[in-house]
Every structure is written in C-alpha cells, then in structure tokens.
C-alpha cells in the first residue's frame, strides 16, 4: 500500500481509502471497478493468490455478459447452441438453437480478468490478505466517517466505506447481519476427457433434473475438460454425493480421473435480510444474492457488485451517519427493486420444481413457447421476473402451479458445512443419450 493512493487521517498517520472491497471474485472485482472508475481510491483485498479455483459451472448468461466492464473480452471455452434435458437419466431430449444460448468460462481465468480490469481502472489489489473483522466503533476507528478493516495478522486498514464480497461464508456478511433462508450443497468434478469424447459434447450442455426435490445436475463442456456437477438442498449430503457418482457413471465418464473434485454451499438471503450496516455494504454471495431455482450466481454477483461499488462511492462521500445510512438504504432499494424481484420469482419456480419437476421438463422439451422463454432468459432478452410480468400466459401458469402446491417446509437457516426474444427458427434435436 502506498501513501500516494490514500489520504492520511489527521493526527493518525494511517492511510484511509475511499472504498475497501473484501473479496476479489466477480462481485468484488465489479465493485472495485465501479468505485475506481468513478475516480475514488480503492483497495481490493483477497485472501488467496490469483488465479484460484472456485467451484462453479461457469455459465455466462446474457445478464452476466451485459454487466461486464466496457471492453471486457470473455475468455469463453465453448459456446452453447444445444441443451439436452433429462429426468434423472430418463426422458432425454435435446433442443437446439441457431444462435448462441450462453457461453462457458473457467472461473480462475474469468475472475483474474475481472480483477485486471479493476486494476486498470485504478484499484489497488492486495492478495494474501485475510480479513478477520470490521469495526465501526472503538479505539481502532479514528472518527465516525471511518471503518476499520482488521486483518488476520493484526494490521488495520481504514476506509470511508467497505464492500463485503467475501463469499457465502462471509465475515462481512456476519457483521452486517445477513440471514439466509435457503442453503444448498453443490458438488462438482472437472474431468479431462479424450478428444473423441470432447467432440461429442462441443456446443452442447446437459441439464438433468435430479432424484431429490429441487436437485439437478449439469455437464458443461470446456474444450478437453467437462465440468460435471450436481446440487441439492443442504442436509442431503450423502444422497447428493450418490447422485453425482451415479450421474458420472451413467454418462460413461467414471473411467476418467477428475482433475479437481470440490464442494460448495450456496446460500440465498431471507427477504428481510439487511444489505448494509453503517458504512458497510454487502453484495454477491456475501449478501446471499443468487437465483434460488437454478442457483445461478455469476450474474447476481456482477450486477450487485457494480451497484455496491457505485453506492459505496456515495457512502464514502457522506459526512455523517444519517447521510451514510440514506445512501446505504438507496443501495438496498436498488438491489430489491431488481435482483430482489427476480429472486422472488425464482423462489416460486423452485417451489414448483421441488413438487412437480415433470411439468417443467415436459414444458421446456415439448412446448415451443417454453423453450423460447428459456432461450430468451439465457440470452438476456428477458428474465424470469420479466417473463412473468410481461406475459399473461406465463403469469397464469405460475399462479396455477402455485395453487397446486402444498405449503413448503422451511429450509434450515443454519450454515454448517456439509462434507465433501429471438424470433428465429429453433429446431428440436432427436432424442439422444448423452
């Protein structure tokens, strides 16, 4: 850290950053970029060395692409034009599109590129920096306009505003008081395959609706590696592991040694969960922002990170606690008005999917409007919320399915770790066995 990049607090001699961002994933890098491009002094803290592996399918849908910094070139490993759907290995059908549906990336490369864009905008990166806590009162805080970020080695970093983007087990989220009402376990394997196998998957992904309520599996091709994963509600660890093993065996991939096997908990926020506390904002996984049905998180991370960076600039400029709170509430309003609405529809879709997965499978594989809706959502032409809002038929169908389902049993809130609009012709593929 250099003094030319930060102010000094009067009488303290400690450098003060306008914005400190904790976590250099898509949410943190986006927040750092947004604050830095506004001309503010930004420090981006990351506990790991970059690039680092993250458990993630790596699908880049339209909303993710649209939230990237100007001039960002996606490091795509494949472009998806076909999706094979199955019901726990049965009722398999492939649907194809002449236009690209979405892209596939490797997270280490993607995240590192986002951080590079933040650095080019003026943000300063520090890796190997583990944050133990933040303090907004006490001897480490020189005045009411300052937040102290305390690192594991005892060093204190001062900021006018802090953005927490430190993942689903966020320390900053704990400080803010983020509460989760949906916790899921994802298991994934990165499997290198021969060229002959890779060719069979090029341009095509598989989505398999799984055997446990709300579960599904995926195969995402990335050149000579297939990303194979499954996700289900937390508390089903043994069944989820069996699902992954059976899924890999069914695909004929059990004979290939995974390069990486990993697990990860995804967490969705409760509706009334806070997004800020004082001069501290949270975004991405740290705020529990992701799509509840698909558990897609990259687009939510990019979009909430950008908003957090923009509003952190305003929080940093606030001269008193009242003004800082006003700006933080404006950030929360912006999140809830956009991503919050999408999450609400996603929760309804998950509840329907948990009870009646066959209906959704039949619709998306057999009804052209449903397939077109899927394609439009992945391309970013609309969203689940936009579809329900603007299409009366979709709204009535969801309302009918809502009425048909029983009252759902609430998921656990605890976060204990589990072991480990196109308009163009679209054509159905023949039934295939992936």
Residue 416 has pLDDT above 50, yes or no: no
Rounded CA-CA distance 104/390 in Å is 29
Q: What does the pLDDT read at residue 55?
A: 85
As a whole number, mean pLDDT of residues 409-428 equals 36
pLDDT surpasses 70 at 166: yes
Tell me the average pLDDT across 254-261. 96
Report the predicted TM-score, pTM, of the whole model to 2 decimal places.
Answer: 0.88
Secondary structure of the chain as H, E, C letters: CCHHHCEECCCCCCEEEEEEEECCCHHHHHHHHHHHHCCCCEEEEECCCCCCCCCCCCEECHHHHHCCCCCCCCCCCEEECEEEEEECCEEEEEEEECCCCEEECCHHHHHHHHHHHHHHCCCEEEECCCEEEEECCCCCCCCCCCEEEEECCCCEEEEEEEEECCCCCCHHHHHHCCCEEEEEEEEEEEEECCHHHHHHHCCEEEEEECCCCCCEEEEEEECCEEEEEEEEECCCHHHHHHHHHHHHHHCCCCCCCCCEEEEEEEEEECCCCCCEECCEEECHHHHCCCCCCCCCCHHHHHHHHHHHHHHHHHHHHCCCHHHHHHHHHHHHHHHHHHHHHHHHHHHHHHHHHHHCHHHHHHHHHHCHHHHHHHHHHHHCCCCHHHHHHHCHHHHHHHHHHHHHCCCCCCCCCCCCCCCCCCCCCEEECCCCCC
**pLDDT of amino acid 411:** 40
Taking the CB of residue 139, how many other CB atoms lie within 10 A of it?
A: 7
- Residue 175 scores a pLDDT above 90: yes
Pairing of strands 216-222, 78-80: unpaired
pLDDT tens digits along 259-292: 999 999 999 999 999 999 999 999 999 999 999 9
User: Can you give the pLDDT at residue 22?
Assistant: 98
Q: Do 269 and 206 touch, CB atoms closer than 8 A?
A: no
């Amino acid at each position: 850290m250099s003094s030319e990049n930060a102010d000094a607090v009067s009488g303290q001699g400690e450098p003060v950053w306008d914005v400190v961002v904790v976590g250099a994933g898509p949410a943190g890098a986006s927040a750092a970029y947004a604050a830095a491009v506004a001309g503010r002094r930004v420090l981006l803290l990351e506990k790991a060395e970059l690039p680092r592996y993250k458990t993630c399918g790596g699908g880049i849908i339209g909303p993710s692409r649209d939230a990237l910094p100007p001039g960002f070139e996606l490091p795509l490993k494949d472009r998806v034009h076909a999706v094979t759907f199955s019901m726990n290995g049965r009722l398999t059908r492939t649907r194809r599109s002449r236009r690209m549906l979405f892209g596939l990336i490797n997270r280490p490369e993607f995240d590192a590129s986002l951080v590079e864009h933040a650095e080019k905008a003026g943000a300063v990166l520090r890796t190997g920096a583990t944050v133990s806590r933040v303090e907004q009162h006490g001897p480490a805080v020189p005045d009411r306009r300052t937040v102290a970020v305390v690192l594991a080695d005892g060093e204190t970093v001062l900021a006018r505003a802090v953005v927490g983007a430190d993942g689903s087990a966020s320390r900053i989220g704990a400080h803010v008081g983020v509460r989760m009402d949906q916790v899921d376990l994802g298991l994934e394997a990165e499997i290198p395959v021969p060229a002959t196998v890779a060719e069979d998957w090029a341009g095509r992904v598989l989505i398999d609706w799984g055997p446990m309520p709300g579960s599904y599996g995926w195969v995402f091709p990335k050149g000579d590696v297939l990303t194979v994963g499954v996700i289900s509600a937390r508390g089903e660890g043994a069944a989820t592991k069996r699902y992954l093993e059976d899924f890999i065996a069914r695909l004929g991939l059990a004979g290939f040694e995974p390069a990486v096997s990993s697990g990860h908990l995804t967490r969705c926020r409760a509706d009334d969960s806070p997004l800020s506390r004082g001069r501290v904002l949270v975004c991405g996984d740290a705020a529990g922002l992701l799509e509840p049905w698909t558990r897609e998180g990259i687009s939510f991370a990019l979009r909430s990170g950008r908003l957090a960076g923009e509003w952190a600039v305003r929080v940093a400029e606030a001269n008193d606690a009242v003004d800082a709170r006003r700006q933080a509430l404006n950030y929360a309003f912006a999140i809830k008005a956009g991503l919050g609405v999408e999450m609400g529809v996603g929760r309804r879709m998950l509840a329907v999917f948990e009870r009646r997965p066959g209906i959704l499978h039949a619709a998306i594989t057999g009804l052209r409007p449903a397939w077109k809706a899927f394609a439009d959502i992945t391309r970013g032409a609309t969203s689940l919320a936009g579809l329900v809002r603007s299409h009366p038929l979709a709204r009535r169908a969801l309302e009918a399915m809502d009425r048909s389902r029983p009252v759902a049993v609430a998921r656990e809130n605890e976060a204990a770790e589990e072991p480990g609009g196109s308009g163009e012709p679209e054509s159905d593929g023949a039934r295939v066995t992936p």
